[in-house]
Chains A and B, each alone.
Chain A
Amino acid sequence: MKPAHLMPNYHVVDSSIVIFFDRKGKLEDFLRQKKKENYNVIIPKAIAKEVVDEPKWFAEKMRETGPESANKILDSVERINSAIQQGLIQVETVNYRKYSKVIDNVRKHLSKLEAKPEYALKKGDPELIALVIQLYDKAKEKVFVATLDKGLLKALKPFSDKVEYEALKKL
């Protein structure tokens, strides 16, 4: 393993953080600050879809009825996409085969929360948690996670030996 002072720490951010900072016009500042603090800001693919593809699709759909809002969303998508292109946010693929058990367990936990069938759950939550475990296995160091989502933090609790939370804001 590389010396600690050379190796960046992994910092997984949830979509809530990306959207929140972008809406405040502070996304790039937040990401550059994290880079300065020697963090690699990482998101799983499911989250990249959530902050780029989904809002883009939604904005295109509402272009005729609400062109102003649609343009605002498209601008936001462009900024987020640019942060990804610049490498300020790294998109990582989760190894589904290796972490299928983690994903299943998270899905089970979440389906109990709202009594929803497991198949009805979105990919983002289980994929984010699986990515945290995958990065922990790689670095053998605690992975930082930033989210505004208390429910997601609860789902991360069983993995508290592998993850450190960053409570940026309280709901």
Chain B
Amino acid sequence: MTPAPEHLVEAVLLVSARPVRLDDLVSATGLSEGETAQALENLSARYSPEDSGIVLRAVAGGHVFSTNPACAVAVERFREEARPAPLSGAAHEVLACALYLGPLTRGSVSRVRGVNSDAVVRNLLERNLLAEAGADRDAPGSPALLAVTDAFLAVADAGSGEDFPPLNSLVSPEELARVRERLTSSEEVPDEKEG
């Protein structure tokens, strides 16, 4: 009996802890790209958060089976492990720098944030949320360039960097104008003769 395309794709996804790209699925199952895409669509419907304890997620450029977050407490109890501690505000800022402005060097991250960020970067490298992606050959010493990883996209539930809102949409023009006005106006010495 020849297994159905969904069964083949389902079996391959089950044994992968990392997102599997479409071409890898095509290669593993021997299906055509169209059949594989259709199988993924069918599986997405079957493994939806409303209907299953397992969900099919499209993250980091591929697909991966994960447990339904609604069942997380039971899973954590079974595995006898606590949920990882949430990242600090500084870590979120460094990740935002790498996501929106990256790849960039540690120095550039520190310049944007205004504080030394080496310790935070080191921690994120250890957690595999940041990775070195080449070197800035124009800078003295060719410092390493940092970029977010596929693991970051997976924990952010994002298919790619395109899934995040544009940086400029996150702050209103009015707020930016207020910042500019506050800084530039505070530098001006009031002239009492005028007015």
Chain A bound to chain B:
no
Instruction: Give me the interface of A with B, judged by CB distance under 8 Å.
Output: none
Instruction: Give me the interface of B with A, judged by CB distance under 8 Å.
Output: none
